[in-house]
Chain A
Amino acid sequence: MSTSRIDARFAALKAEGRAGFVAYVMAGDPDYATGLAILKGLPGAGADLIEVGFPFSDPMAEGPPIQRAALRALGEGMTLSKTLEMIAEFRQGDQTTPIILMGYANPLVSRGFEAFAREAAAAGVDGLIVVDIPPEEAGPLADALDAAQVSLIRLATPTTDDERMTVVVRRTSGFVYYVSVAGVTGVKEADAAVVAPHVTRVRKASGLPVAVGFGIKTPERAAAIARVADAVVVGSALVDEVALAAELNEDVTSRVLSKVESLSKAVRSARVGQTTTV
């Protein structure tokens, strides 16, 4: 069953006494073959979980880096179907690394929630984050995902007060994604001291591990967040490497994976010598 891949990974991380590193990549960026090569290389480079973005023409919560990544992928003909194909190919060689799909509602609405959930589960997807489907609108999607045993991962944000938190964590499983700043991806910087009490709040309300993302770009920042959260998500800084590699005429896969290595190393060693666990 797919949900257990996420639970098993967080249980293992807890046993190791460290935070997990979650790498976000845009499916098919800069093209299908390279995107697949990056995906296959991520676990070896230190990604404990992988978020795979499926591109959408109008990504209203993304900053410029992920907007551009989506346009690159769409320009190469990337689709939701091909994203699932890519994940299925990845799964042939990796049965343990959880894969979370992340994107916007309309490609899923267009496909139909039931059909999508079945196909996603068959491809080896463990969880789904949909930026523009809040709890109020999530009923039909949650039903479809439940039937296919795919986790619906929820976003909690700095504007989520305690009352709303109970709404946000309803019908969620796997983990909760805490959006560390009010804003779009990859612009403002996350502050670990500000984030810490919110992580505690989300963990308490959900009883689930909490991953923190938005605004984490450097190994230093990732390490600081790793001291207070169960997992650290980096996205924009990775997709920026794709653009940079192309600009510098360097190998995209190795450039992205080396960034993943430096970030995951920082996350892995963040709590070494730390006496209290979170």
Chain B
Amino acid sequence: MSARPNDYAAYPDANGRFGMFGGQYVPETLMPLVHDLTAAWGAAKTDPAFKAELDGYLKHYVGRPSPLYFAERLTKHFGGAKIYLKREELNHTGSHKINNCMGQILLAMRMGKTRIIAETGAGQHGVAAATVCARFGLPCIVYMGAVDVERQKPNVFRMNLLGAEVRPVTSGSATLKDAMNEALRDWVTNVEDTYYLIGTAAGMHPYPEMVRDFQAVIGREVREQIMEAEGRLPDAIMACIGGGSNAIGIFHPFLADEGVKLIGVEAAGEGMDTERHAAAINGGRPGVLHGNMTYLLQDTEGQITEAHSISAGLDYPGIGPEHSWLHDVGRATYLTATDLESLDAYKLCAELEGILPAIESAHALARVGDVARDVGKDGIVVLNLSGRGDKDVATVAAHLGMRI
């Protein structure tokens, strides 16, 4: 890689590549649609009217800006750097997912599309997609692995209440990757009227770039808020990583600030010494799936292997291509946290701060003590609290051996 310092924000290149990662590995039937989308997104992103419309909905419907909150008791507990939480869990629908959905639904309507499809793992993206579809009166079909339908029942019911049809996917491992396969099969079948609202910064170009840009509102706000609170940029920014949209959203506005460490936390499941994890960068190698080249969990023959995480939102064998690239060029660091470490962090955050974090976000919380101590007492760490944890109480109870 020959990327110069401060040059990171120039990616992807014209071919949708972040170094060797990204690209457009899709069936020929979809290529014209992907090109249409690239053109429509290219026009929208430079259109002041599009930005004004999106900003309006983000403010009045989503509830932005989300607060940047000094977590005093967590800070004291770990005894290191000051820990700030970016409160994305306070957004409408309870996670960062709505930022992207609001942007994409406006784009879909601009393109004249009349039917929305989406995939979901934990159901947070499905709920956000169903929400914007309800708001703008468009039919919404959400593909969800049958295993996830079972472990995230409240979110399935929420989607139904919002008028979306949830289609359980039983093929393959019946989790997020299979939901994405099924959504792609729907799109290739309904090429005239359908818009595929991908929930993370992965898939074929332009999705990784587009979803990142919609989520970058998180990092832009953090920049302003931390300057106001501390008069300087933070020493480290942390986020959990499944596909990696909340992480790239908070990282991206800081890529050029080499003094700001960017730290992603992947799901180590039952441990990195087992095969039951979902850490694509720490436990995978580059390959092609769902339209892009990126780090993937796979066997020696290139078959995709099943991911495992207590968190349905991180239970995916791949990762967004920009993260693969930031890892390879060394601009970001990717740590891991196990199921048990994340459960402990979930409880700690609840007890010390009065905030139930999403079990996804709890993966980042599981490493925040290490990072805060590493940065040291005079330092500042910002952690993206990407979602709220009410949806996870049944999972947490089960792991604590309790019935609720």
A residues with a Cβ closer than 8 A to B are 55-64, 67, 71, 74, 79-81, 104-111, 131-134, 136-137, 154-161, 164, 168, 179, 182-184, 187-188
Contact = CB atoms under 8 A, between A and B. Distances in A.
Nearest to A78: B301
B287 A184 contact: no
Interface in B1-54: 15, 23-33
Contact of B303 (A56, A60, A160, A168): A56
A155 B190 CA distance: 18
Nearest to A62: B185
A107 to B, nearest CB: 4
A133 B301 contact: no
B298 A110 contact: yes
Interface of B: 15, 23-33, 171-172, 177-178, 181, 184-185, 188-191, 286-291, 293, 296, 298, 300-305
A132 B303 CA distance: 15
A188 B305 CA distance: 30
A159 B301 contact: no
B302 A111 contact: yes
A107 B289 CA distance: 10
A104 B296 CA distance: 15
A140 to B, nearest CB: 11
Given A111-B302, A183-B188, A184-B189, A105 B288 contact: yes
A71 B289 CA distance: 17
User: Does more than half of chain A's interface fall in helix, strand or loop, or is it mixed?
Assistant: loop
B303 A133 contact: no
A131 B188 contact: no
A106 B28 contact: no
Contacts of A110: 287, 298, 300-302
A137 to B, nearest CB: 5
Contact of A134 (B31, B178, B301): B31
Given A80-B302, A109-B288, A132 B26 contact: yes
Contacts of A161: 32
19 contacts: A58-B177, A60-B27, A60-B290, A63-B185, A106-B288, A106-B296, A106-B304, A107-B303, A109-B288, A111-B302, A134-B24, A134-B26, A134-B28, A136-B15, A137-B25, A154-B28, A155-B27, A182-B188, A183-B29
Given A106-B303, A156-B28, 8 more contacts: A109-B287, A110-B302, A134-B25, A157-B27, A160-B28, A160-B32, A182-B189, A187-B189
Question: Which of A56, A63, A136, A168 gathers most chain B CB within 10 Å?
Answer: A136
A188 B190 CA distance: 11
B304 A60 contact: no
A183 B189 contact: yes
Contacts of B290: 58, 60
Contacts of A55: 303
A155 B28 CA distance: 6
B33 to A, nearest CB: 7
B376 to A, nearest CB: 43
A134 B15 CA distance: 13
A60 B202 CA distance: 16
Contacts of B181: 58-60
Leading 7 A-B pairs by shortest Cβ distance = A110-B302, A107-B302, A183-B189, A105-B288, A157-B29, A106-B302, A155-B28
B11 to A, nearest CB: 17
Contacts of A133: 25
Contact of B25 (A71, A132, A158, A188): A132
Interface centre among B32, B190, B300, B303 (most CB of A within 10 A): B303
A179 B25 contact: no
Given A160-B32, A168-B28, A80 B291 contact: no
B302 A108 contact: yes
A158 B29 CA distance: 7
